[in-house]
């Protein structure tokens, strides 16, 4: 390691330690803020609204039902110290680190190995020249583009970056314009001050101090594996090894992957951690798949269970359908429970205003999604009728409110 790299790493470590010390002290009590109450006010009058309103004066506590999706990225840069502290303050009992790796094969928290150009300041830093593809401005009908991977840089270099809201303006002709693309229903208010990046190991230490449990997601590499001798199995094993090194009990960890082979690796090679390994189901991308038709499920729910899978996590819309103006469990949900699979789902508070149908996450119930009040109606069906064990949210206060009101763990 060069002297400059060493200094960058030291500065990053000091910054992260200072941020953790300053922020964890403010994360001890659960504070939900006004948003859950705003959403309840938008609901149609009825028993559920009345019951939720009756909980307004409660003292709220952390809940394992409430899972911070990359922290609290509705308003804070994802996978940063600040975002996760905010999620913990809102009662998220489980926090997420999406795990990628650097050029020197160190594990860090990023949603994708190739998203540094949209989630950090790398394009405006001296590291821009190391990106897989530098910034190209929009021109002649061609959108602006860039691609910067964690595997393009070392851990020390990674720690010199600052997190920002995940966004890019593809119509931009300058780097500054490209980096300034945050959706108008999110905010850059907190991103303009700081966004402290973390290694996976640092996330373990932070989440423990915040009193939260762990759900790391092994992300699909953007590079061909093995990467300089680092195999997919090495990658999956290193994730678990960092929990073992920190002395974290397996029952406090829900390791996730969209790659079923990763989940099966953990089940076979780390069976204690494998018991709670989560298969993130993206079969909605498979032609012919229909969550209302079990004959299209390959493998079937029973086959997944027979392989040792105990947890499965599809997006919310796969678990529900709409009929006669009501939200009901889908055939997918029914089959999963019949097979004895535990369900977790994603992602609440990621769709912006719901008055126009809610977009991708609400696609199976868009006919009954006409206001933000539909959010709690969906959560209620997911919890009571579908029977999910937890809900990822970009703003955990909403799920925390519901969990406390309904007496969920």
Residues 69-116 pLDDT 10s? 999 999 999 999 999 999 999 999 999 999 999 999 999 999 999 999
Pairing of strands 133-136, 145-147: antiparallel
How far apart are the C-alpha atoms of 268 and 251, rounded to whole Å? Answer: 16
pLDDT digits (tens, 9 = 90+) for 365-378: 999 999 999 999 99
Token couple for 351 = 């769709």
pTM for the model: 0.93
In a domain, 224, yes or no: yes
DSSP character for 359?
A: G
Strand partners, 217: 98, 256
Distances in whole angstroms, Cα of residue 193 to Cα of each of 162, 164, 176: 10, 10, 16
> Cβ-count burial of 94 within 10 angstroms (0-12 exposed, 13-18 middle, 19+ buried)?
buried
State the residue range of the domain holding 53.
Answer: 34-113+188-405
Non-local CB neighbours of 305 within 8 Å, separated by 6+ positions: 339, 340, 341
CB 238 within 8 A of CB 265: no
In a domain, 164, yes or no: no
* CATH number of the domain bearing residue 89: 3.20.20.190
Residues 165-186: what's their mean pLDDT? 97
Domain count, the chain: 1
Q: For residue 87, give the nearest of 409, 392, 403 by alpha carbon.
A: 392
In a domain, 8, yes or no: no
- The pLDDT mean for the chain works out to 94
- Confidence at residue 173, expressed as pLDDT on a 0 to 100 scale: 98
Whether 171 has a pLDDT exceeding 70, the answer reads yes
In a domain, 123, yes or no: no
- Confidence at residue 131, expressed as pLDDT on a 0 to 100 scale: 98
């Amino acid at each position: 390691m060069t002297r400059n790299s060493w200094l960058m790493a030291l500065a990053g470590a000091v910054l992260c330690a200072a941020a953790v010390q300053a922020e964890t002290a403010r994360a001890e009590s659960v504070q939900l803020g006004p948003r859950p109450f705003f959403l309840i006010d938008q609901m149609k009058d009825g028993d559920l609204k009345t019951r939720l309103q009756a909980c307004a004066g409660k003292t709220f506590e952390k809940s394992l039902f409430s899972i911070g999706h990359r922290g609290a990225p509705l308003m804070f840069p994802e996978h940063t110290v600040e975002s996760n502290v905010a999620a913990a303050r809102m009662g998220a009992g489980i926090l997420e680190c999406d795990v990628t790796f650097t050029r020197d094969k160190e594990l860090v928290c990023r949603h994708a190995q190739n998203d540094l150009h949209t989630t950090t300041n790398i394009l405006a830093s001296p590291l821009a020249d190391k990106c897989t593809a530098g910034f190209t401005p929009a021109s002649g009908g061609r959108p602006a583009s860039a691609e910067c991977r964690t595997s393009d840089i070392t851990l020390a270099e990674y720690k010199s970056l600052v997190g920002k809201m995940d966004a890019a303006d593809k119509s931009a002709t300058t780097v500054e314009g490209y980096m300034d693309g945050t959706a108008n229903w999110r905010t850059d208010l907190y991103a303009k001050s700081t966004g402290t990046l973390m290694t996976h190991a640092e996330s373990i230490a932070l989440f423990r101090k915040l009193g939260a449990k762990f759900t790391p997601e092994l992300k699909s590499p953007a590079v061909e594996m093995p990467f300089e001798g680092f195999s997919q199995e090495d990658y999956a094993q290193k994730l678990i090894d960092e929990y073992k090194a920190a002395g974290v009990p397996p029952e406090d960890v829900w390791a996730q992957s969209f790659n079923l082979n990763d989940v099966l690796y953990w089940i076979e090679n780390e069976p204690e951690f494998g018991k709670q390994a989560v298969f993130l189901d993206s079969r909605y991308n498979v032609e012919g798949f229909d969550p209302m038709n079990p004959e299209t499920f390959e493998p079937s729910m029973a086959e997944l269970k027979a392989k040792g899978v105990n947890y499965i996590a599809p997006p919310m819309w796969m678990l529900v359908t709409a009929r006669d103006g009501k939200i009901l469990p889908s055939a997918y949900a029914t089959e999963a429970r019949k097979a004895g699979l535990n369900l977790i789902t994603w992602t609440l508070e990621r769709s912006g205003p719901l008055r126009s149908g809610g977009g991708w996450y609400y696609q199976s119930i868009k006919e009954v999604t006409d206001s933000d009040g539909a959010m709690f109606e969906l959560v209620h069906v997911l919890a009571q009728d579908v029977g999910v064990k937890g809900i990822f949210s970009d703003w955990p206060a909403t799920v925390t409110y519901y969990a406390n009101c309904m007496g969920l763990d």
